[in-house]
Structure 1
Amino acid sequence: MSDEVKKLVDGFHKFRTKYFVKDTELYEHLNTEGQSPKTLVVGCSDSRVDPALLMQAKPGDIFVIRNVANLVPPYEKGGGFHGVSSAIEFAVNGLKVESIIVLGHEQCGGINALLTGDYNNHSDSFISSWMKIAIEAKYEVLREMPSAPLKDQLNSCAKKSVLISMENLMSFPFIQARMKDQTLKIYGWFFELDGGRMLEFDYEQRKFVEI
């Protein structure tokens, strides 16, 4: 067993001591009553951006979907497997979450691949195919700021991709119904690794502002 895996094993034992030995009430409740999170978070797979850690959430507080670049595909019935869409359906229809947060971040590898085309020469690249969900964000950035430094282009593209995912959420009929009933709200958040700020998309100002 590698040293890194041993660290994870030690971490599990600390977790077990905290929740199953010293303070059993939380997991006894979750075990008997089941989960009932009120918030769905669509986050990135990036190891630096763990939604539960960033928000200091306890077990059972949030339902999390993580994928490359925290993307939400548009609603569609056909095609291949729909892991993200099925998880969204379960959260909205099964768990009856009241909020959905699309959580983007700086220095996203998926956004870098989208903007620079690192994987475009690989016809069998899963990443290249997946990132096409946010292709309009790339086009907008190249139109609006073609001469800007790459870092600024990447941050802008990452924020625009959050908005695309928010729009794609609205393409799901069951989300449309919940929004119409005013029982579900959608938020766009953006975590800045440089400085540790969390931004939220302000619908009125049409821009991201610090929370």
Structure 2
Amino acid sequence: MSEFSQLLDGYRRFRADGYPRQRARFDHLVEEGQSPRTMIIACSDSRVDPAQIFDVDPGQIFVVRNVAAMVPPFETTPGLHGVSAALEFAVQVLRVGHVMVMGHGMCGGCKAALTQELHGTAPGEGGFIADWIGMLDEAREPVAARYGVEGRDAERAMEHAAVKVSLANLRTFPCVRQKERNGTLKLHGGFFAISEGILHLLDEETGEFRAAP
């Protein structure tokens, strides 16, 4: 059986069981629209599904996923700003009250940022990834100086640093700064350890990640 056939089998199970069980919720979402209170910015990694980790129903969280769960800084230069557009929609239209950046263990994007193995590659052969994770170049320097560029300690430090970079970039958006200042928006840093199944939350005062209660 092909992988795509397995997907269709999953869809059939959803139609037979999942959808009927949640039919009332789907009807409500159709009639009233979505009103999630939390936006999650997560990695595209197939092992880290925010809906599964937080055990939420459809309509509860607004999710954006990309390589290494990155948020670019606010800029108005011409281009296609996908993450910025999603953030703008969540904050200004949906008016979410919380935004979490959630990194994770064994992140390939963070590892590539640390080793810089894709630097110099052409677009379509790694260059798009290299340009994207170039946002971590400055944060990489102290990590590499302390831990080197190989090994789990170095990778974990880079994964934690990436969350902090995205949080800092979030605060370059005027709408985010204003809403955080007036208390209508709270930012959170998270890190999901795949090998342990444990979510860690960032204490921004100490800079440390601690297991969620």
TM-score, shorter chain, exceeding 0.5: yes
Gaps of 5+ in 1: none
The code of the aligned residue for 2:137 comes to I
Q: TM-score, normalised by structure 1?
A: 0.94
Partner deviation per Cα, 1:12-68 (whole Å, 9 max, x = no partner): 122223354344210000000000000000000000001111111110010000000
Q: After alignment, is 11-20 or 99-108 more displaced?
A: 11-20
- The separation in 1 between residues aligned to 2:17 and 2:56, in whole angstroms, is 15
- The separation in 1 between residues aligned to 2:59 and 2:201, in whole angstroms, is 23
- The separation in 1 between residues aligned to 2:4 and 2:32, in whole angstroms, is 32
1:159–1:168 CA distance, 2 compared to 1 (3 A):
same
User: Is the 2:115–2:150 contact (alpha carbons within 8 Å) kept by the matching residues of 1?
Assistant: no
Q: What secondary structure is seen at the aligned counterpart in 2 of 1:37?
A: coil
Identity, % of aligned positions: 38
Q: TM-score, normalised by structure 2?
A: 0.93
Q: After alignment, is 88-97 or 14-23 more displaced?
A: 14-23
Q: After alignment, is 148-157 or 39-48 more displaced?
A: 148-157
Matched with 1:141 is 143
User: Is the 1:19–1:26 contact (alpha carbons within 8 Å) kept by the matching residues of 2?
Assistant: no
1:22–1:54 CA distance, 2 compared to 1 (3 A):
closer
Matched with 2:168 is 167
Gaps of 5+ in 2: none
- The separation in 1 between residues aligned to 2:72 and 2:133, in whole angstroms, is 10
Calculate the aligned-residue CA RMSD, in Å: 1.4
Q: What secondary structure is seen at the aligned counterpart in 2 of 1:208?
A: strand
Matched length: 209
User: Is the 1:19–1:27 contact (alpha carbons within 8 Å) kept by the matching residues of 2?
Assistant: no
Q: Could you list the runs of 4 or more consecutive aligned residues of structure 1 that deviate by over 6 angstroms after TM superposition?
A: none
Partner deviation per Cα, 1:98-126 (whole Å, 9 max, x = no partner): 00010001111111111111211314310
